[in-house]
Amino acid sequence: MRKEGGINDSSVRPGPVEGIYEVPEGKALRASVRLRSGRAIAFGVVDNTDRPVPASGVFSTIGRVVWRPDWSDNSAPPERLAEPCLFAGVLNNMFGHNLTTGLGRVWALDHLPKETGLLYVVRMGSPRLLAQLQIRMGKILGCFGVERPVRVVASSVSAPVLYTALDKYGENYLGGASYEFVSWVHGRLRPYITADVESGNRLYVTRANVSRLQGRFACEDRLSENLARSGYKRFAPEEHSLQEQLEAYSRAEKLIFAEGSALHFFAFVKKPVQQVAVIQRREALPPLISRQIHAFDPQPVQFVNSIERVVFPKTLETNRAISILDFQRCKEILRATGFVDDRAEWEFPKAREIEGSVAEGRPGEEFLDEQGWNEWRETVRKEKISRRMARQAGSGA
């Protein structure tokens, strides 16, 4: 866990248990700040003297606080909330991100008044996005038996009492979790964790229902068909409720995942008796996945790197790459590790099929290899700098 500096101030009181802080007339304020990476972060929790309070830091996976707001930038008065609330984290529109940044402080509700709600923030967002995230987080929390009001905001708010709590899981732990948080999750999800694994129950958890514009495998339908011949049922999480997903994961004897956000959810109910494989779509597996998959159950997972090459569309977003698998190598690794048997018959996609699959959702677009994509991004970056300098020169700034 990364350490967060505490602040001694009489306006901030210790909470009912260690790791919780009570902030009378606390405020969650927007502020304008830009990191060296260029990513804009705009949030922080302060007391009634506008000083940052303990246990409210938000951490990135590279080990530093991702916001240091300049509170003098605030101008609009914060919206007043009627009820006390717990600052629960920062969200974006990615399901996996919600699981790794939105749950690590929720343990504190067990020690707070029943009327205490949950406050989440986003850097920016339309009213529609805020409503969608509010509904999504309500459903996620419901899986853990948490039935409290949820508020998602993209503007400054204040509350009669604003609580903060130590973040005990997720990005603050590089995907890991504290012993206390693991115990909290196991207690809340006990019906799934104690459910009997069904002999012969095999699942292939696919990304096929994800937008064609997102990162994915080429020809994943062919991969799914091949695994079906070895008894794996295709399971698309998007077609099921969250409770149905947990039930399916908890009952399966063998699970093969297409690398993706479903792993963040499965990790909560992973069991020692299960055999789990992850077919990688990135050469370097994100630490939030590789650490979390072992945080709640240490049983090793088989990571299958059968990537032949990766291609990138011309977009600055880093999660849009398409992985082209070596199907023969994938089959051999799964066979050698006991996920498919020696008699498994696979059909391999032809070059034309791969080309067509890559182009799905992006007809007519150009794709680059990693080196070409990095060079293209650097060119775009330099062009942006040149345009900005030209504007500044023209305005006399």
Tens digit of each residue's pLDDT (9 = 90 or more) over 109-167: 999 999 999 999 887 778 899 999 999 999 999 999 999 999 998 878 888 999 999 99
Residue tagged 């290899």 (tokens): 369
pLDDT of residue 71: 45
pLDDT of residue 64: 43
* C-alpha span between 106 and 135 (Å, rounded): 16
**What average pLDDT does range 44-51 have in this prediction?**
77
Q: 281 is written with which tokens?
A: 């779509």
What is the pLDDT confidence band of residue 92, given thresholds at 50, 70 and 90?
Answer: confident
* C-alpha span between 74 and 32 (Å, rounded): 8
DSSP 260: S
pLDDT of residue 180: 96
pLDDT of residue 374: 92
Burial (CB count <10 Å: 0-12, 13-18, 19+), residue 192: buried
* C-alpha span between 55 and 155 (Å, rounded): 20
- Checking if the pLDDT of 77 tops 80, the result is no
**Is residue 325 within 8 Å of 223, Cβ to Cβ?**
yes
Whole-prediction pTM: 0.88
Query: What three-state secondary structure class fits 161?
Result: strand
Spell out the domains of the chain, with CATH numbers in brackets.
13-188 (no CATH), 198-309+320-351 (3.40.50)
Q: Does 390 or 306 have the greater pLDDT score?
A: 306
Q: What is the pLDDT of residues 306-346, one digit of tens each?
A: 999 999 999 988 889 999 999 999 999 999 999 999 888 99
* C-alpha span between 96 and 63 (Å, rounded): 19
**Is residue 68 within 8 Å of 32, Cβ to Cβ?**
no
**What average pLDDT does range 28-36 have in this prediction?**
50
What is the pLDDT confidence band of residue 33, given thresholds at 50, 70 and 90?
Answer: very low
**Is residue 322 within 8 Å of 211, Cβ to Cβ?**
no
Tell me which H or E stretch contains 351: helix 351-359
Closest CA to 167 of 177, 158, 157, 159: 177
Q: 226 forms bridges with which residues in the sheet?
A: none
Q: 40 is written with which tokens?
A: 């804009």
**What average pLDDT does range 100-110 have in this prediction?**
95
pLDDT of residue 192: 97
Q: Does 317 or 243 have the greater pLDDT score?
A: 243
Closest CA to 258 of 334, 200, 312, 314: 334
Provide, rounded to the nearest whole percent, the portion of the chain with pLDDT above 90.
62
**What average pLDDT does range 283-305 have in this prediction?**
93
Highest mean pLDDT among 24-38, 58-72, 192-206: 192-206
Give Cβ neighbours of residue 70 (< 8 Å, ≥ 6 apart).
31, 32, 33
Q: Round the average pLDDT of the chain to a whole number and report it.
A: 87
pLDDT of residue 2: 46
- Checking if the pLDDT of 350 tops 60, the result is yes
Contacts 24+ apart (CB under 8 A), 299-304: 299/270, 299/271, 299/272, 299/274, 301/276, 301/277, 302/275, 302/276, 302/277, 302/278, 302/333, 302/337, 302/339, 303/277, 303/278, 304/277, 304/278, 304/279, 304/280, 304/330, 304/333, 304/334
